[in-house]
């Protein structure tokens, strides 16, 4: 069982470049999340989705966009990368939102230079 798969695992971007991070889950979960993890700041929620075709803003949404065209996929886009977006990004999915276990991918380490 693959669980939650994130691609790519590593990426270096130049300031102003764009990219898309892909998250795929094979557990038929309704809820999907994108977090960023920075030293000493835990996991901060960027955007989330409560079902196919829906998205909502989290705690730190500025500079990011998301789409959930298919239930199993949740895409995170950076239109114009900034050094402040250097971070480790985690995707997660859960069956019934915050009341059930969140399954995480292995993360994407993004460096913006």
Provide the 3-class DSSP secondary structure of residue 72.
Answer: coil
> Minimum distance from CB of 16 to another protein (Å)?
29
Q: Contact at 8 Å (CB) between 46 and 63?
A: no
- Asked whether position 44 contacts another protein by CB under 8 A, the answer is yes
Out of 7, 15, 80, 106, the only residue in the binding site for another protein (CB under 8 A) is: 106
Pairing of strands 31-37, 43-49: antiparallel
Whose Cβ is closer to another protein: residue 85's or residue 108's? 108
Tokens 């075709």 found at:
53
- Does 19 sit near another protein (CB under 8 A)? no
- How far is the C-alpha of 95 from the C-alpha of 37, rounded, in Å? 22
- 8-state DSSP, 78: E
Q: Footprint of another protein on this chain (CB under 8 A)?
A: 4, 31, 33, 35, 40-45, 48, 50, 56, 58-59, 90, 92, 96-99, 101-102, 104-107
């Amino acid at each position: 069982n693959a669980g939650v798969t994130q691609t790519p695992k590593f990426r270096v971007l130049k300031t102003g470049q764009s990219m898309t991070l892909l998250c795929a889950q094979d557990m038929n979960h309704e809820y999907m999340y994108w977090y960023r993890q920075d030293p000493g700041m835990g996991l901060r929620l960027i955007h989330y989705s409560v079902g196919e075709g829906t998205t909502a803003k989290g705690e730190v949404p500025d500079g990011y966009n998301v789409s959930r065209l298919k239930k199993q996929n949740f895409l995170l886009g950076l239109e114009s990368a900034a050094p402040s977006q250097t971070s480790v990004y985690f995707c997660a999915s859960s069956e019934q939102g915050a009341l059930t276990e969140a399954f995480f991918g292995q993360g994407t380490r993004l460096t913006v230079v």
